[in-house]
Amino acid sequence: MKPRYFAAGAAALVCAGLAFFTVSAQATLKPGDSAPDFTTQASLGGKTYTYSLASELKKGPVVLYFYPAAFTKGCTIEAHDFAEAVDQYKQYGATVIGVSHDNIGTLTKFSVSECRSKFPVAADEDSKIIKSYDASMPMHESMANRVSYVIAPDGKIIYEYTSLSPDKHVENTLRAVKEWAAQHPQQ
């Protein structure tokens, strides 16, 4: 009888863990929510500067994507994908910025090598931005989950996508930007 109780207990723990992960993974901000404003250190093409979301939104929509750590396999793939698509985003008046828990020194290198000097990456060493966007990695709150947002110039989130796989983030956010641009041709 003891092994049976152990198996049932283990199954309950696994289910509870999966339920926690599912709830945590779905705790992101949703379309219609106001995007928290932020200012932080960023790097573009190896040059560090102060990035302001409010200033970027005056130019058009912002694609804000969070990623776990610079120079890891999935984050490198995602950075390459965004770099290749930057010109397409620009066609619709949108800009791109990546945010991670990495320090600005690491991101200065990442901005050149993996982002190919095409878009900025911002440092969030204290995880304030990550937490304000409910983009924390389940079970590791200081690290970002892989979450992408599209923010309209009025500061409202118009699209959110969460997946640890880097595969669909560019495709999905680009589609959201195109849809927004079609509805706002004068902006």
The residues annotated as belonging to the active site are 75
Beta bridge partners of 123: 100
CA 103 to CA 91: how far, in whole Å?
A: 31
* Segment 73-77 long-range contacts (CB within 8 Å, at least 24 positions apart): 74/146, 74/164, 74/165, 74/166, 75/100, 75/114, 75/166, 76/114, 77/166
Structure tokens, 23: 């709830």
**Cα–Cα separations (whole angstroms), residue 130 to 16, 50, 57, 86, 177:** 25, 17, 19, 23, 22
Task: Report the Cα 126 to chain-centroid distance in Å.
Answer: 16
151 forms bridges with which residues in the sheet?
62, 157
User: What is the C-alpha separation between 81 and 130, in angstroms, rounded?
Assistant: 21
